[in-house]
Structure 1
Amino acid sequence: MSTELDLSRRPAKPAETGPVNLSGLSLVKLRERMEEIGIDKKKAKMRANQVSHWMHNFGVTDFDDMTNIAKDMRAKLVENHIIARPDITEHKVSVDGTQKWLSRFGPGIEAESVFIPDVARSGALCVSSQVGCTLSCTFCHTGTQKMVRNLTAQEIVAQVLVARDTLGEWPTPSENRKLTNIVFMGMGEPLYNLDNVVEAIDTISDCEGISIGRRRITVSTAGVAPKIPELGARTNAMLAISLHATNDDLRDEIVPINKKYNLECLFDAIRSYPDLGNSKRVTFEYVMLKDVNDSLAEAVDLIKLLKGLPAKINLIPFNPWPGSPYECSDWDKIETFAEVLNRAGLSAPIRTPRGRDIFAACGQLRSESIKERASDRLKAKIAQNSTAAE
């Protein structure tokens, strides 16, 4: 029996010591920070807006570059603050131009993000919302990594800043951008970290900062049904559903959260998503698994399942990973599956695999982070103290 844990109420990370990193903080938290260092409320809002604009529109990492802030104020900021990116422990570039970063947010805390260039007319950044995952979807490499912790909103935003640094997109361009879309399709289940995802989207979509519109931000869920309407109400982002099966028996097997929220429950929640229509369709992700979910009968069942919903289906050729129990469907079978959906009036593009050679494709993301138990930390501390006493 599988267990899904909602970690949204747990502290994302221990309290920090030393200088406070302002990079990636929301306007609300920046304003709170300004007040904490003695700036009155009226000026704190103005200062927060200024600092955010420099960090998230111009990409600066040095307070001295904030030229419209008085020198004495900059000196005050320097005393207790830094503007820092996470350590990049690995950066790989695929032969097809896809880029992958492994960002280190603390000791043993690493997550992957992937930039996919030239997706239609845009470039999409796939960001992670957790380190590890609790859902154990059988086709997904991330599902083989035990949950370590939620990422904070600041850490989610940091993935966007890292990509912008590499792409050289500072200040935020008004046109001809390389990075135009954000997809929460990396490591983790975003709706089990909803508060931080909401806060991150607020920062990413701020028109005076990173300025990526909410209609260009997509949040994918494996089916945390009760949180779906809340996601729409709080973010107005686009919704994607990691579906992969048309009946409960198969979905129970490959997407175990279905045992808790079955297809009927899931689709009731989807229909409650705010403002669905032709300009705001739900994307259904369907990974093509050879002889598992790729029959013509299942294509027909998918048509029936999506009847009445403004929907788009992304057919995803399975991307293998070490020890994976599946094979990708034959290409002609994928094309036939897509043709059945297209004839029924559904948009069903086949997603071209990107970044397979660097394990950056859909379902391949994973880090080596391992959750450290409190007892292990205590043992290590005792051992360290013993060594120091000798």
Structure 2
Amino acid sequence: MRFESKHTYFKQCARKLHNFKNLSSTLAERHQLLQAYLHAGNVFPPVLQVGQADEFNAHMYNFAIQEAVRLGNLTGSIMETAMVTYKGTTYKKGMSVVLDVSDGGYVLGKIALIIVCQEKVDFVSERHQSVPVLDLGVHCVQHDKSQKDLADTNNVHPAQPEKVAKTDSYGCINWQPSQLPEGETIDSLHHKKEELKLIFSQEGPSGTDRVRVNDLMVLTYASQRSAINSTPSLSVHELKREWPFLFMNKFLMQHFTSLTGIELDERLRECIAGKGRRVLQFFKTQFLRWTKEVKTVLADIERLQGENMDSTIAVILLMMTFFREKDDAIFLLADVTSTHADAEAQLSLPTTPRIIMLGDSILTSKNGCSA
């Protein structure tokens, strides 16, 4: 008898509809609509539903996570949770979300921490770059657990975990330090960065020679990497404003050595001394097969050979011409009497770095500055 009571809904529908054409289809459709309604829950569920949450304590996490949260400029009460539902989508620790789409594939973030602050949800995620493998129809994803980013729910999309392969930090031995220098905290490193900015504002590039500046740049390496690796990435202008000494030749080379373990000046000289000569010799022996532009550069190099021409500049300029790159992609020419400030004021400088060469010709210029 209990089974008969299940027919009540269908009997009521048939009586109230007063339409007996194709009755079985009508009743099936009405029953499906009823089931959909019952399983939908609230018609207007809250935008944000948070699971069990605890107060966020930054000191319990490593430097990479602390720095990612600090760069997010979160204010007020900050809570952490293992699960959150935002606009009907549930996010949990360990899930992967799409942060961005690039020409080389997807930029993915594996959720390491979920933070809720003032009705806003942010994810601290391990940032990975995926590379499509067309033959297999899969994406290979880099693992770099040292790099942490802060992303909010408006800029991410759920994604499935992918196969793993390293791509982004090849050649780097210290891509993003996970530990602070001994005796340092995030606040102390921030104060040291502000001290560097103050010294630069008072002394300018001449402050590069100070021992204190050198010590501060060594101690704040982890903070420099966090700024460079941040998402969204800082523009060159913003990075130069935050870390002005980083754009001085001494500290740029020092940073590169810490990142890769390679002394760039020494390695570049060795390569130019050996491979540079072979490149020049190859182009000279194959003179007739080159374009007019390459022949012009070769002729200038030959003509200026005895005038203290910089062979490094000559090789770079020759390679740029061969690959049909414009000179101003790297070099900008200014009057030999120009100062750094004069060159920046007189030249139309792009947003990406350039080397300003002082003189009448790029090949014969002996002085330069970066911009």
Q: Shared fold by TM > 0.5?
A: no
Higher normalized contact order (CA 8 Å, seq sep 6+, divided by chain length): 1
TM-score, with length taken from structure 1:
0.22
Which protein has the larger Cα radius of gyration, Structure 1 or Structure 2? 2
TM-score, with length taken from structure 2:
0.23
More helix by share: 2
